[in-house]
Structure 1
Amino acid sequence: MTRRRRRSAAGRPLFTVLTAFGVLAGAALAGAAPAGAVPAGRRIAPGVTYRQFDVRAAAGTAHAHLLTVDLGDPHVRLGLLYPGAVAARATVSRMADTAGAVAGVNGDFFDISETQHPGVEATGASVGPAVADGRVLKAAVPKGQRFGPALPPGTTTQDVLGVGTDRRARTDRLALTGSVLTPEKRITLRGLNQYALPQNSVGAFTSRWGSASRARAVCGTDTDRAAACSSDTREVTVRDGRVVSVSGKPGSGPIGAGSTVLVGRESGAKELRKLSVGDPVTVTHDLVPASGRGPFAFAIGGYPVMRDGKPLSGLDDAASAVRTVVGFSDGGHRMLLLALDGAAAYRKGMTVAEEASTLRGLGATDAFNLDGGGSSEMVARNSGAQAVTVRNHPSGGAERPVANGIGVFSAS
């Protein structure tokens, strides 16, 4: 087939769009998408289309897989994919099929390795906040405890992308608010279902955490995740408003419904040592949007790379990799979910700056970076199928179990 080439707008990658629907990278190519246009693609479900295209990046040709979602369509919605517990991992295809999603991509960076802390297992829990079906699952770890590349200037681990109860996509920051009310004082809660707690703090773990060990929560410092684990710790279990057990170190195993496990380190541990079995304790927690806007129906962590049509300053323009990025346009009514292909011919990928430029060229006003490399993945159902198919080639050669993802759901 022949190709037609057009010059892109200054600073924007050139797109080569597939004219036919296909699963594998390297299919016949034709044409060039004009800057600002989203390829029409193949309909997956009402309001959902899928398309493949090439992007000419600095390191070579990258191959992109794109889902376009019309949130104005009452039949379609986005939601958080996760394995049923915060501290757990599963493949995107398994999470999508279990939840009944018609498509999806991988999500936030997560605690994948603990080689610096002998005897401590990686939890698999994500870095940033997470909200599923309007329920708060977890808060963000300290910035110095995150896994993944350095954050762009001005961004934090509290940054999220999600869809509000108004069915409009937006980026925001979700800060934890909460307290532990004891007979002696009110202690500020500084962690919720997190794999890492701030120094000198008290954090809460609920049944949504899962059964993984809570030992990782007291390792590292606010500026160095590889620092040693604290030996000054305390764990207190509260059930029905009363302390039911105490321990000198974080434990593991399922947390029963209606129970909360409090973990303290350093001065936080000192406060928890004042509690005894039978003492009354009230624990409250919530995530508050920094913007003051309404609650999220779903939210996921990562970091923003473009706001109001302008890429953020200081984006990395040197390191190329396979990446997953999502964006939105039309005032949050249209979502774009893009995952690069990890096949050998395309594995060099693109830089963070290039992914922002790519989303801008596709018409997005805002863009948000998710986990990449071997985690980058897109799945979607074929017409009439009961299960999703992996659309890109994961760069590790197989699906990687991840902490969470974004699912696309259709009511039709």
Structure 2
Amino acid sequence: MRINRLARRIIGLIQTFCLLLLVGLFFVPTTSANQNQGLGIIGFRESREIYDGVVFEKIISYNQQGEQRAHTVVIESGKLIPVATYGAYVYGGYNLTQMVELEEAKGSKVVVAINGDFYDTSNSIPLGAMIVNGRFVTSGNKTLVGFKADGTAVHGNASFTVRYNDGTKNTTINHVNKDRKNNTDSIYLYTEDYGTSTKSTIPGVEVVLQANGYLKVGGTVTATVKEVRTNATNTPINPGEMVIGVHANAASKISNLTVGTQITISVTDNTNLGWKDVVQAIGVGATLVEDGKIPESTAANKDVHPRTAIGFKEDGSYVLLQVDGRQPGYSNGVTYEEMYHFFVTEHNVKYAYNLDGGGSSQINVRLPGDAKATVQNSPSDGRERSNANGILFIAKEGADPNKELKHLHAYPRKLVILENGTVNINVKATDQNYYPVATPTNITYTVNGDIGTIDANGKFVAKAGAGSGTITIKSGNITETVTVTVVDSIDKMTSDLTFVSLSPGKQQQLNITAYKNHTPITAGNTAFTWSLSDSALGTISPDGLFTGTNGSATGYIIVKYKSFELRIPVEVGTPPKMITTFEDVIVRPSAGYNWDWTIENPQNGGTGSVSINTDERYVKFGYQSLRIDYDFRNATNTTGVSAFLKAGGNGQPGSTVNQYLKLEGYPTHIGMWVYGDGKGASIRMQLRDGNNKVQYIGFTPEIVDYVGWKYIEAEIPSGLPTPLGLQYAIRVMSVSGKSKAYGTLY
């Protein structure tokens, strides 16, 4: 039987250092990174007013980090009400959409929401202080962003002292609504904001108080001791109660708290910023803009991540910025300095602060005509993450009870479309406060300029050749305008699927995106020419619907536009197979380990180690990744750090092909995502063929000269004896001792 190179493919989940056996190539023209500051060259920006005095903008750009997708909201002074929120309880975390829903259940309408403070990932408790509706919710002495009742922003350093007084002395409370864990020295205070119980797991003394109010900066609360629980864990917190807790070793510190004792709890502001007048506040990270300049310590940090930030202008306006990242080909993320430049050059911001980023970075916006605020960005985890808190911006005005039409809103509002492409213009209607009303039936569409045609239902067909113009949408005296640019050349084209694997006779719709100046262009699949490399594969329609043969076959779907060609691997009858997700990987020396590692040629001076990483900054998908630390500074010849799956019983790499992880069939490529450190180490892998002969395989690119995420893959030579065994899945190398690098890869 003839062995087809595409007959079988083993695919690992696209995951940090996840092994992916992938077939085929797709076209990506090379481009050099632009060295502009900030977001770089902006290829596309679409702005729309989403509430009176509130403008939302989507930006697609290209800077020295590569592709960027950003979202900004500019809120004029006094137009929306800022509200800090943590969800239902401090402990445990809620995603931003849940926070919005909980707030709207109170009768509010959220126009914009962003994620907030950094937090302890084990419990989602924020690192900084938090003030919600005037209540002092969590303690922390770090920079805060807050708002007074009239919306005036207060921001800067925060320092609070929390004490209780029993009538004879003051006792300092070290933490408010923070997890006690195994701390043996500090005093903790819990309120009903924290949760339904203290969540403590280490026995200690926990004193239940009946309180007559809530904590407030500059204020006091009186409370009476109801119960003293010794050797206590997870004490319930009932409505109206507070709990003071310590580790058993620190019991003497609160020995003055006995049943019936009355105490006064105070929160003192140690700064002159006026935090007592603030009704909403959360902690923030680095200061990005300080009096129009960037602090040296901020500029020194060159890390690239998804980001969320908030800025303040001299006129009292707020500027929100969210940038996606960790998604090569879509958005890579930015540095602190790049955010600084954008804030200052685009919006003349005076002060700005970094919020939690990475997989936490998120912005929700209620688009005009929609009932609620929805996620506008692409979180790097592929889903919303539970966070510590967020800032919601609430509408001051409600819906018009008469539901009178005042605005029309086109989606899209700015259109860049490929010649002969098609798009449906969606129109929504709102009242004077941007709440949805019924879309009128008497809408008319008028094309202005030589750009194409539009029918009565809003379906626009671009003409052949380039052009620019507008589409006017009208109902009575209410109008909306769509700006249109028709292009007749592209820089790149990609498919929503990089491979297709189907059961016999099944169908799969493919969608193509074309790019011009790093900006995606609306096209519609009929703007491209579709064909198959072999008619035995099945059929492909003019709009990209593939129908597989009733048998089995392998080949390519071919998509063309002028000189551009995209080849998408196809296999019918052979499903993909997963190797590992790295979510359940255990690395030596942990008990029950299923991955191991070794130093190759240690006599040549290489050292290092392999471990599991859970720092979300270095996790491409999911919750953990493989971490490889290496040090080749003393390398005299070839050496490396190699990781491998424990396929046998003793965890050793073995010496015959049967002792390695067998690769079913004949895969053609092996790929993985790598977070590079740019220091020049090589990445290779090692197979054994069916004759037990070593096969050294190099990845492309092999040299880690990049920083951040990059997908790399290696081609497996054809014609090797089978079965193939995966001996060393990942080899971080100094070849011939030439690389003197040391660092960490994920």
For residues 108 and 281 of structure 1, what CA distance do their matches in structure 2 show? 34
**TM-score under structure 1 length normalisation:** 0.75
* Offset, 1:252: 2.4
1:245 Cα deviation (Å)?
1.9
How is 1:358-377 mapped onto 2 (pairs within 5 angstroms)? 358-362=342-346, 363-377=348-362
Aligned to 1:60: 66
CA distance in 1, matches of 2:374, 2:38: 30
Letter of the 1:112 partner, please give it.
Answer: T
Aligned-partner SS, 1:18: strand
Counterpart residue identity of residue 42, structure 1: R
Counterpart for residue 328 of structure 1: 312
| Distance change in 2, residues 1:408/1:61 (3 Å) | same
Asked if residue 259 in structure 1 is aligned to residue 241 in structure 2, the reply is yes
> SS where residue 174 of structure 1 aligns?
coil
Matched, 1:14 2:40: yes
Match of 2:225 in 1: 243
Query: Percent identity at matched positions?
Result: 25
Q: Is the 8 A contact 1:96 1:102 kept in 2?
A: no
Matched, 1:313 2:296: yes
* Cα separation, 2, equivalents of 1:200 and 1:407: 36
Q: Distance in 2 between matches of 1:88 and 1:95?
A: 13
Asked whether the equivalents of residues 57 and 354 of structure 1 are also in contact (C-alpha less than 8 Å), the reply is: no
Match of 2:195 in 1: 210
Q: 2:93 aligns to what?
A: 89
Aligned partner of residue 330 in structure 1, secondary structure = coil
Q: Out of 284, 293, 313, which is 1:302 matched to? A: 284
Displacement of 1:17: 5.7
Label 1:322 to 1:137 Cα distance change in 2 as closer, same or farther (>3 A): same
Distance in 2 (CA, whole Å) between partners of 1:253 and 1:266 is 14
Task: Say if 1:163 and 1:297, in contact at 8 Å, map to a contact too.
Answer: yes
Query: Partner residue of 2:15?
Result: none
Of 23, 28, 50, 2:56 maps to 50
Q: Which amino acid aligns with 2:143?
A: D
Distance 1:293 1:158 in 2: 15
Q: Which 5+ residue runs of structure 1 have no aligned equivalent?
A: 1-7, 21-40, 114-122, 141-156, 217-228
Aligned to 1:277: 259
- Residues 324 and 292 of structure 1, relative CA distance in 2, 3 Å threshold: closer
Distance 2:61 2:87 in 1: 33
Greater RCO structure (CA 8 Å; 6+ sep) = 1
Deviation at 1:314, TM superposition (A): 1.3
Contact 1:239 1:259 survives alignment (8 Å): yes
1:95 shift after superposition? 1.2
Displacement of 1:384 in angstroms is: 2.4
Shift of 1:212: 5.1
Asked if structure 2 preserves the Cα contact closer than 8 Å seen for 1:235 and 1:272, the reply is: no
Describe how 1:380-399 pairs up with structure 2 within 5 A: 380-399=365-384
**Residue identity in the other structure for 1:276:** T
Query: Equivalent residue for 2:118?
Result: 109
Residue type matched to 1:236 in 2? V
Aligned to 2:153: 169
In the TM superposition, residue 11 of structure 1 has moved relative to its aligned partner by: 5.2
1:345 alignment counterpart = 329
- Deviates further, 344-353 or 123-132: 344-353
Deviation of the 1:311 alpha carbon: 0.9
Alpha-carbon contact 1:178-1:283 (below 8 Å) kept: no
* Greater strand fraction, Structure 1 or Structure 2: 2
> Can you give the 5+ residue segments of structure 2 that lack an aligned partner in the other structure?
1-33, 104-108, 212-222, 398-746
Shift of 1:287: 5.4
- Alpha-carbon offset, residue 68 of structure 1: 0.9
Bigger drift between 52-61 and 91-100 goes to 52-61
Contact 2:71 2:323 in 1 (8 A): yes
Q: Distance in 2 between matches of 1:307 and 1:199?
A: 38
CA shift in 2, pair 1:17/1:369, >3 Å: same
How far apart are residue 249 of structure 1 and its match? Answer: 4.7
Q: Which segment drifts farther, 371-380 or 302-311? A: 302-311
Match of 2:709 in 1: none
Which of 406, 409, 412 is the matching residue for 2:391? 406
One-letter amino acid of the counterpart of residue 252, structure 2: K
Q: Which residue in 2 is equivalent to 1:131? A: 131
Amino acid at match of 1:263: G
Structure-2 separation of matches of 1:388 and 1:58: 32
Go from structure 1 to structure 2 and tell me whether the alpha carbon gap of 1:381 and 1:11 turns closer, same or farther (over 3 Å shift): closer
Letter in 2 for 1:129: A
How many corresponding residue pairs?
342
- Distance between the aligned counterparts of 1:289 and 1:334, measured in 2? 27
Comparing 179-188 with 58-67, which one deviates more in the overlay? 179-188
Rounded Cα–Cα distance in structure 1 between residues aligned with 2:192 and 2:307: 32
- The answer to whether the 8 A contact 1:172-1:291 is kept is no
Q: Is the 8 A contact 1:161 1:301 kept in 2?
A: yes
Contact 2:115 2:389 in 1 (8 A): yes
Aligned-pair CA distance for 1:182? 2.8
Q: In structure 2, do the counterparts of structure 1 residues 108 and 19 end up closer, same or farther at CA, with 3 Å as the change threshold?
A: closer
TM-score by length of 2: 0.43
Inter-partner Cα distance in structure 1 for 2:153 and 2:145: 7
Which amino acid in 1 is paired with 2:88?
G
Structure 1 residue 205: deviation in Å?
Answer: 0.8
- Separation of aligned partners in 2, 1:392 and 1:10: 23
Q: 1:212 to 1:17 in 2, by over 3 A?
A: farther
| Helix, strand or coil at the partner of 1:345 | coil
Matched, 1:191 2:184: no
Does residue 234 of the first structure (1) align with residue 205 of the second (2)? yes
Q: RMSD value over aligned CA atoms? A: 2.7
Shift of residue 13, structure 1, vs aligned partner: 4.5
Distance 1:359 1:301 in 2: 20
Q: Is the 8 A contact 1:375 1:399 kept in 2?
A: yes
Query: Would the aligned equivalents of 1:129 and 1:160 in 2 still touch at CA under 8 Å?
Result: yes
